[in-house]
Amino acid sequence: VTTTVDASTVEAATPTPRRLFNRRSGGDRAFFAGISMSGVFVLVIMLGVGVFLAIKATDALGKTGIWSFLTTSQWEVGRGRFGIAAVVVFTVLISLVAVSIAIPVSMGTALFITEVAPGWMRSTLIALVDLMAAVPSVVYGLWGGKLLQGQIVPLSRWLNTWLGWIPFFDVSGADPNSPLASASVYTTSTFIAGIVVAMMVMPIQCVVMREVFSQVPLGEREGAFALGSTRWGQIRVVTLPFGRGGIIGGTMLGLGRALGETIAVVLVISPRFNITPHILEAGSNSVSALIALHYNEGSEFEISALFAAGLALFALTLVVNFTASWFVSRSRSGASSEA
Amino acid sequence: MTLQLTPGEVHETTSVQPQAVASDLFRAADRNDNETTIPQRPQRAGPQQRRRTGTLSRQDAMYMVGAGVSALATTMLIFGRLTPLSGKLGFIVVAFVIYLIVYAVLVSLTENRPAVVDRVMTVLLASAAAAAFFALASVIFFTFYRGRQAILRSNTYLEDLSKTGPLDGLDQGGIKHAIVGTLIMIGISLIFTVPLGIACAVYLNESRSRTAGFVRTIVTAMTALPSVLAGLFIFASWILILGFERSGLAASIAVSIMMLPIIIRSADVVLRLVPGNLREASAALGAPQWRTVWHVVLPTARSGLTTSVILGVARGIGETAPVLLTAGFTATINFNPLKSPMVSLPLAAFELVRSPQPTQIARGFATAAVLMLLVLLLFSIARIFGGRPAGHLTGRQRRKATSDSLKDLRRMTRQPQEALT
């Protein structure tokens, strides 16, 4: 017995995927409009920072020219000779000192919290790191300016005496052999400002690194232990390679924060405008310190010059921060955390 | 044929002719391809001992103490007798290096190289953490120590500095104006940042659009926005272009810009932790998305959201540079955020310690100590709230939820009866 089947009925019998649609109710549409507006508003604020800085900076940049602004190291706006070469170099030097001090400490702390510390201690340590990030910069500045300034002179002198042949540690005007040498050649230096900024950078780096380290797959950890690894062996072959993106990203985020630190630097340094690579030498500077010290004086043109400096700092931190988030999101660990 | 090996036999034969036994074993395995050989372990007499899984044995502790004492003694000898070295920092560094060496030697007496490296690295990691927290403790202690003279006087909290000169003693004048200013500024900032920040965090979580990803990237970049630039931005827009005067309001807006990304970031993380099945349950009951967010997502994440706001406040309260640029400076109390300068605690501390007078510096430290107290207080509150995971209810909340659902039950059972009558 044969039955003829009409092709059209078969077509109708096979289930076709239903068209899914999502018509939002009136309330939902209002809700989405509201939250989208808040998102866009935040976006506008961020862009606004750049735009307003640029608007106010055109005056000064137009008069002096961008190239001269980038290469001049003096800041004598009244005489038309001003530029950010010196302040940018000092800003970068302070940040580099800060980051190179902060990296080992923050990495050690992050590894201690995730790998070594027993469970009951862990949440307390995490809270302490958060507290360190929340201590106001003026408090760090006071600590650096009034306590560290005196305590660090022996270290500076020691570095200068034994490592003075490295250009960074040379101090012009200091005689290590003279017992009567004044300590003032070592104070208010880039090095001290760097240490203070390191205190602020360290918790930021530590938070990023800790988050990444805590995402290391348990299977890989246990695999290393099952193969007979010690804890340090496990850290070296599993945790650190896994967290590489987080380490680089956290370091860069800390660098971004270090570049913009203002009040603590102002309280430690005495401003100078002649570029030197000697980080132990008295006097230093930074873009934000320049702004904080000069915002209240002078004509509209001088203010405009400050905005130009601010714009440069903005560009510098943006580049550093975006590079940082690129590293974090590109890493194996970041891909899963960035939903 | 099965190969039976009793422990005694293996031990005996291996000690005499290890190679012969190995070849015997291989031959046995060749003959019995489909049989598995299970080596028998020697049975332990008596009940099994509980194994210690802890990482620190008594021997380790003894090594550490011994190395510590040895390092201390050696360093004292070096500093006191052998060389003209001096200085606290140098003493600590030398003692630490000697400690590491002695500890490594002690461990190497019983352990192999990887174990020695492991122990030494563990000590290094722990000392990195210890150094960080020592520095934090030193910062906090130093601030309170230097501010101790002014912080215990009642006039510090009850007077401002309008009638007090820099040369007057600490029994006159105080920082009431800065405390009031900080509270007003933070209050206004909270009005701006809490609705905007949480709405934006909800947007990042609920919207799947490209824009949301872009906003998240921008917010992340904004967390590292230099604070002085937030001040400059408000200085340029609010004061120079729009022509308003320096005031508490301008400073509040600048501080809000610093607080926003922190609140958004941490609220975003908290909202992401809300279990998906709660959302789905709500959607399955027919709730539109806004009701799901309002009645399910936000209440579930309440404690985390509180923590994120408190963390934002802790950051905003300590911002100096934006306030410096936008609020001006005054020594008198000002309750009006719209007019005339207003000063905050960090700004007052900053201005006071830059004075050469010791009394002013002492006042500055007291101001910083009060600020530090506020931050510590906020942190403790955040810890109390943040200790609970998403969706965890306190006793009162649970009782309220129970009574609510009982009410619902009564309403639902009543309705059909009413319809009948």
Q: Which residues of B touch A320 (CB under 8 A)?
A: 224
Reported as type and span, the H/E element at residue A221 is: helix A218-226
Give the tens place of pLDDT for each residue, B169-197: 778 888 889 999 999 999 999 999 999 99
Give the pLDDT confidence of A5-33 residue by residue, as tens digits. Answer: 665 555 556 777 877 766 778 888 899 89
Q: Do A48 and B237 touch (CB under 8 A)?
A: yes
**pLDDT-based confidence at residue A224 (cuts at 50, 70, 90):** very high
Crossing angle of helices B227-234/A244-260, nearest 10°?
Answer: 50
Closest CA to A237 of B117, B391, B101: B117
Distance CA B157, CA B183 (A): 13
The alpha-carbon gap from B420 to the nearest alpha carbon of chain A, in Å, equals 33
Whether residue B98 is predicted with pLDDT greater than 90 in this model: the reply is yes
Within 10 A of A239 (CB to CB), how many other CB atoms are there?
23
Residues contacting residue B314 through CB under 8 Å, at least 6 positions apart: A134, B375, B378, B379, B382
Nearest residue on chain B to A113, alpha-carbon basis = B129
A119, amino acid identity? G
User: Distance (Å, rounded) from C-alpha B138 to C-alpha B126?
Assistant: 18
**pLDDT number for residue B65:** 92
Do A284 and A269 form a contact (C-beta atoms < 8 A)?
yes
**HEC-encoded secondary structure of B336-392:** CCCCCCCCCHHHHHHHHHCCCCHHHHHHHHHHHHHHHHHHHHHHHHHHHHHCCCCCC
Rounded-to-integer distance, Cα A192 and Cα A198, Å: 10
Cβ contacts from A onto B, under 8 A = 277
Tell me the chain B residues in contact with residue A202 when contact means C-beta distances shorter than 8 Å.
Answer: 132
Of B88, B8, B80, B384, the residue nearest A151 (C-alpha): B88
Alpha-carbon span B39 to B42, nearest angstrom: 10
**CB contacts, 8 Å: A129 with chain B:** 132
> pLDDT by residue (tens digit) across A154-184?
788 888 878 877 877 777 766 666 655 666 7
- Nearest CA of chain A to the CA of B5: how many Å? 27
Q: What is the DSSP string of A188-209?
A: TBHHHHHHHHHHHHHHHHHHHH
Interface mutation target, options A35, A123, A147, chain B, most CBs of B under 10 Å: A35
For residue A266, which residues of chain B lie inside 8 Å, CB to CB? 350
Which residues lie across from A75 on neighbouring strands?
A82
Structure tokens at A320: 């550093």
Residue in the structure block whose two tokens are 């921060």: A321
Q: Is the pLDDT of residue A2 over 70?
A: no
Q: Do A307 and B236 touch (CB under 8 A)?
A: yes
Q: Find where tokens 């940049």 sit.
A: A61
Inter-chain residue contact A321 with B224, CB threshold 8 Å: yes
pLDDT at B420 over 60: no
Which of A153, A48, A146 minimizes the C-alpha distance to B225? A48
Q: Which tokens is B367 given?
A: 């101001």
Task: Answer yes or no: is pLDDT of B55 > 70.
Answer: no
Contacts of B114 in chain A (CB under 8 A): 230, 232-233
| Among the partner residues A27, A43, A115, nearest to B218 by beta-carbon distance | A43
Distance CA B338, CA A106 (A): 43
Would you state the torsion angle of the CA atoms of residues B82, B86, B89, B95, taken in this order, to the nearest 10 degrees? Answer: 10
Task: Summarize pLDDT for B291-336 with one digit per residue, the tens.
Answer: 999 999 998 888 888 888 888 898 899 889 999 989 888 888 888 8
CB contact under 8 A, B228 and A288: yes
Q: Is the pLDDT of residue B18 over 60?
A: no
- Yes or no, beta carbons of B143 and A142 under 8 Å apart: yes
Confidence of residue A338 (pLDDT cuts 50, 70, 90): very low
Q: How far is CA B328 from CA B188, B231, B343, in A?
A: 17, 12, 7
Gap between the Cα atoms of A255 and A101, Å rounded: 12
* Average pLDDT of the residues in A282-298: 85
Residues B53-76 have a mean pLDDT of 85
Whole-number mean pLDDT of chain B? 83
CA distance A268 to B400: 55
Tens digits of residue pLDDT in B202-253: 999 888 788 888 888 888 878 878 899 999 999 888 888 888 888 899 999 9
Nearest in space to A206 (alpha carbons), one of A134, A130, A106: A106
Considering only the beta carbons, identify the residue of A42, A154, A231 that sits closest to B219. Answer: A42
